[in-house]
Structure 1
Amino acid sequence: MNSIEAVILEELRDEKWDTLGLSEVRRAGEAFIKLVDGHVLCYEGTEERIECGIGFLLNKRLAGNVDEFFSINERVAGIILKVNKRYHVVQVYAPASTPDDEKVEKFFEDVENAMKGKKTQFTFVTGNFNAKVGQKKAGETAVANFGISNRNDRGDTLVQFAERNQLKIMNSFFQKKENRKWRWKGPSGITKNDIDFILTNRSDIVKDVTVLNREDVGSDHRIVRCQIGLNLKVERNKLVRNIRQNLCQLKEKSEEYNLEVQNRYSQLADIEKTEDMNDNFTKILTEASLSVAGKVRKNTPRKPSEETKDLPRKRRNMTIRTARNKIDAAEVGKTINKKKCEDIRKFNMTKIEETKKRWKLEINQENDWHRKKSDVQPKKLKW
């Protein structure tokens, strides 16, 4: 294990971490290495000279969840992690301040290329952008209210990149104390700026972005930590959510459905991975069915009904001054309870009838299939 990895792991020993993006790893070539303690190091460097370089350090808990590691060059690399969903993390190391605009434009083109062509649910772009974003400007959605210092030209380019790709610069979304705002310190020790950023297309899952100011890894940059949180139950329900297709209508328009599937199937020609092919094929069948036949509309009554919802409003608007008013209010309360029971019973009975009809339809379809199958079988000859 290289000394720098040992220092980083020693500093992170008391911290909870899963994936660590590395900028300027200063190693030649490309490698995917399993370290002695079970953690995984993957990186991309140059063959000619040991400088720049980009990579990831993965906790041993995620060693078996790496779906793909790829690199564009020694400044842009990415990794696909498959946990409950697929996470796409792109690590970058932007060129230092330079008047060469073409070099900067080429860098952001490489980052966009690393983001494209990967089917994932969550995308993160992290690393050293050598840019100062500063404060939010009017009309911007990628930047929030807690940026620091003033924006420079490279910061404008970064914000435009984020806006163009529907990304949020999460460093500016969380208010921090002064000693937790800066990520980089100049050689003089006086200049302090925020040039390391975390961008994502799913700001709703990010719980916090901060710096680890106690860890010393021998760099002029401080470690930036992004904490995410997922409701696994909700995400799992999204994966298994069933769209009720109109099977009766689909049966009547079978020829149109077959033609729609054939037209959409041609889109799979350029897909190489079996998993992506399967996901897209399932999606094509569902989309073709919905396009031709639509989906079954729910006609079930609401629980409770609108009439029952009006009763509590009526009771709230009643003026209770006399004994007779109290009796009337009590009667309305009894009516509310009675109506609730009736609505629940009606709702449940409607559900039962829908289920019976759906089962009957499926049984009829199965019987039709068996009948057609028996019709095409050759008849036995009598000798």
Structure 2
Amino acid sequence: MSEAATLPVFIEHGTPAFRRINLAMLAAGFSTFALMYAVQPLMPVFSAEFGISAAQSSLSLSLTTGLLAVAMLFASTLSEALGRKPVMLFSLVVSAALTVVSALVPGWNSFLVLRALQGLTFSGLPAVAMAYVSEEVHPRSSGYAMGLYISGSAMGGMGGRVITGLVTDVAGWRWAIAAIGLLGLVSAAVFWRLLPPSRNFAPRPLRIRALLGNFALHLRDPGLPWLFAEGFLLMGSLVTIYNYVGYRLLGPPFGLSQAVIGMIFTVYLVGIVSSTVVGRLADRLTRRRIFWAIVLLMLAGVLLTLLDSLVATILGLAVMTFGFFGAHSVASSWVGRRARHARAQASSLYLFCYYMGSSVVGALGGLPWASHGWSGVVLTVSALLVVATLVAFRLAALKPLPTD
């Protein structure tokens, strides 16, 4: 066999296959993140209906993301044996079906059990999607393609929150959750129809020893552990703000309704713009030159929400969200480029830290809320983002690899 025949055949920007990948990944990102975060604006509703605290209500998300983080370490390895597309499709279909069922269960504990199961089924998409893009899309377009996938995630995060907020005011939270689940099933059908099969992937048998060896390889890299830490810090900060901002907006001086709070989550639209724009900018200027500035922008947005002004609070959420999706786009594509081998495992380690940040920091954020209100939440998140900025400077000082 000639050397040319063994070289990977990448999908180029501007081709029909590239457009199909983008549309399929938009649908997948929308579905997964709409299903995952649909409960976030409903946390005050859960507190009122089930008589639970804000921290207990946050378990509807933290339990999901905590199990997702652990399961993702193994989901990416499963995709090495079964293939990228089958694992992602299973994740989308079963997660949507469980969401519909969760709208029907009678009690809080039963609801949490189903949310925990969703954490396991969600794991089949994020790490595998990152690996698929890095394998199939040409390196010069991978930042843009990953940015579009993250745009779908932003659309899903926004759509899930907005739809549940609006439907809850009209028909109750159970109808809202059921509606999101049905949208997830439609998105799964779109993904199945559009995503091209893998061309640069060869199945490999499951080997636990090799899996642990790949994890150790990535943890010894001088840059990847810092990127994993960024995932924890950035996602923990974002989720903590969004977990408790609903409680702040329901109370004085704002006194907003559930539907209006849901509409405020349309600030996620800036994330759709940010991930693609910053992804392209990173491809052009290099990730190390812009990453720290995007993290600082996120911190500025968080500090804006301290003002007792609805306009300032919405603006702060928008700036923070823009910074987060830009930073996540840079960090996730950086992981894919820096990991020269076993990219699915590198992606899964990044996303393990990412979702552990959501689970651990998002749940613990209820403690400063209970003791010091919104100022306590902002102080906690600001401290995390200061650390994230220092880590970004550390990454910028690293000796670059040819693939960075």
The bucket for the TM-score relative to the shorter chain is under 0.3
TM-score, scaled relative to structure 1: 0.21
Q: Which has the higher contact order (CA 8 A, sep 6+)?
A: 2
